[in-house]
Amino acid sequence: MTATNRLPVVVLISGRGSNLQALIDGQLNGELAIDIRAVISNKPDAPGLERARRAGIATEVCDHRGYATRADYDALLRERVAHYNPGLVVLAGFMRILTPVFVEPFLGRLINIHPSLLPDFRGLDTHRRALEAGVTEHGCSVHFVTPELDAGPVIVHARVPVHPDDDETSLEQRVQAAEHQAYPQAVQWLADARVRLQDGQLFIDGEPGTTPPQLDTALSG
């Protein structure tokens, strides 16, 4: 596959970068038709930056500290991301709420992974809240990012069981294993132009997508 028919991608991170790693692996083993042009972190010490460097991917730090407003920071971030001319911007554990200053220019080309079956458990501490709620099924969602937090159309749900003896750590590990399958899958659908956002709605293979596609994640453990 030549670089010209691969989807140019910029990945934004804040931390560990295990989802980034799943995308890097998919690119390197040829399963994903993407070209990760840059990895940008708002945290200078994010371990995910080292994963990118090891793969020979350009890295940048856009430290959020020192900006008067969120919008000021988002304007800088928008400029740095746009510099790489991405067809897709992937939030992979990017722990900042983004304003329309960033979201609007990339609408339809901006996706996130969230550790719950949206619309359940928007926001933080999803695994703890899922356990407290006593749900028997949990998982993750890849979704288009829109100005409302964790509310954009879901591209794929990956479900995992919740076991009676689960704690936050065991549940998080099971969900993360699902994330590492769901994110590459969604990214490839975008690279194949099979899913798109139009008028705030998900379209799959040209048809309005009413229920989110499910990733078959009969994950155990």
Query: Whole-number minimum distance, CB 37 to ligand GRF, in Å?
Result: 18
CA dist 7 and 16 (Å) reads 24
Between 16 and 72, name the residue whose CB sits nearer to ligand GRF: 16
CB atoms within 10 A of CB 139: 29
Site track 67-96 with ligand GRF (rule: CB under 6 A), x = hit: -------------------------xx---
Residue 114 binds ligand GRF, judged by CB under 6 A: yes
Q: Where are the beta strands (DSSP E) in the chain?
A: 7-13, 34-41, 58-61, 88-91, 110-114, 137-144, 154-161, 195-198, 201-204, 207-208, 214-215
Residue positions annotated with a catalytic role:
114
Query: Whole-number minimum distance, CB 20 to ligand GRF, in Å?
Result: 6
Give the CB-nearest residue to ligand GRF.
93
Between 113 and 155, name the residue whose CB sits nearer to ligand GRF: 113
Stretch that binds ligand GRF, among 2-10, 13-21, 186-194, 196-204 (CB under 6 A): 13-21
Q: Where are the beta strands (DSSP E) in 14-132?
A: 34-41, 58-61, 88-91, 110-114
**DSSP-assigned beta bridge partners for residue 150:** none
